[in-house]
Amino acid sequence: MAALASKCVGKWGAAAQGVDVVSWRSWRQGVVDQAGVLEFGCVWCGWGILEAGCSRSGVPVIGRSQLVWGSWQQGGVSLYIGANILNKEERFQENLFKERIAKAEAKVWSQANELQKQAVEKILEDVNARHKFEIQVLEEKHQKDLQDMAAKTKTEMFRNMKNEMKRENLAAEQRMVHRIQRIMMECHREKMEAVEKAREEERRISQEAIQAQKSKAMEELLNAGVSIMKDQKMNMSQLIKEKEHEMNIYYGIAQKQKQEEAQEVLQEAEKTHQATLGNVMDKLVNTQGELLSIAKQLGIMTNWKDFLEEELQETRAAFQKYINYTFPQLSPGHADFIMPERKKTPSNLVVKDDEATLE
């Protein structure tokens, strides 16, 4: 009976070999159903199948009712045991498949996570590189703007300094011209006063000399007249003419002396004027030298100011860059409290336009 069951199982098992799991499961379920149906004896088709199977398995047909019934009992038990074994095997295979599927899924998920991680890292690297490039572009643009602003500021400063120097030179020239004009007018006034005084003195001396000569001539004339009248009785008119001629000679000599004295006074005044003018010119040259020295010092101070301004700009730019790198989360303008503000120019260092024209 065991051989019959094994042949039946072997027959159906051989029939199930080479087919898919669904066919094998359908066959096994049919066997179990047939075994259960035959066990209760409710369906006659299962009997026919088992009988046909037993007939094909080589069991004699003599006494078939008893033989087949016994074979059916033992074959049904064997089929039931085989079905349990196959069910366990199937569950084992299913668990194995599930385990392999779980491992495959875990491997796939691991690879997917790794690929996702690599993709995220690559995206982050690209974003970081793009961010660095944008920062570099902004830094270059900011540096260029600073250089342009420094160049514009330097140009504006040079232009303002040039205009200021022009105004200062023009004001100095105007002051010098006014001083020279006043000095020349003063010298001319002193010269005219000296000439007028010399003329007055000359007229006074001439009048005194004439009066003295007249007195002397009258005295001599009286003396001569008395002597002539007494001794020689000379012609009065001739004597008068001679005395007048003598008086004219004396007057010419006195006039010449006064002219020489006046000329000496004029020469002395001219020398004084030339000396004063020379002093003024020396002062003018010294003033021009002082102006040139001041302009040179101003140029040196301007160069130092430009150098210090450039160094200050570089220091502030480096400090601003340090602030930007140290506090990248702050938006532009929120870190200005760290950077000290630029101080304004003191009011006592600002030169007003109206002060440049005053003396």
- pLDDT, averaged per 10 consecutive residues of the chain (359 residues), comes to 40 38 42 39 37 39 42 62 85 89 90 90 89 87 83 82 83 82 80 80 78 73 61 61 73 76 77 77 78 81 82 78 74 59 59 47
The pTM (predicted TM-score) of the whole model is 0.28
Token match 């491992």: residue? 103
What is the C-alpha to C-alpha distance for residues 276 and 253, in angstroms, rounded to an integer? 34
What Cα–Cα distance (Å) separates residue 15 from each residue in 12, 75, 89, 264? Answer: 5, 17, 18, 165
Tokens of 19: 């087919």
Distance CA 328, CA 317 (A): 16
| Domain spans, the chain | 2-107
Which letter does DSSP use for residue 146 in this model?
H
245-249 CB contacts, 8 Å cutoff, 24+ apart = 246/217, 247/210, 247/213, 247/214, 247/217
- How many helices (H) and strands (E) the chain has is answered by 6, 0
| Predicted local confidence at residue 229, as pLDDT | 58
Asked if 320 contacts 339 with a C-beta cutoff of 8 angstroms, the reply is yes
For residues 38 and 80, give the distance between their C-alpha atoms in angstroms, rounded to a whole number: 12
Task: Report how far residue 300's alpha carbon sits from residue 191's, in angstroms, rounded to the nearest whole number.
Answer: 46
Cβ atoms 75, 120 nearer than 8 A? no
pLDDT of 336 reads 58
Whether the Cβ atoms of residue 196 and residue 289 lie closer than 8 Å to each other = no
The pLDDT of residue 54: 40
| Per-residue CA distances from 38 to 27, 100, 303 (Å) | 16, 39, 120
Helical ranges in 41-63 per DSSP H: 44-56
The reported pLDDT for the residue numbered 23 is 41
Contact 194, 265 (CB under 8 A): yes
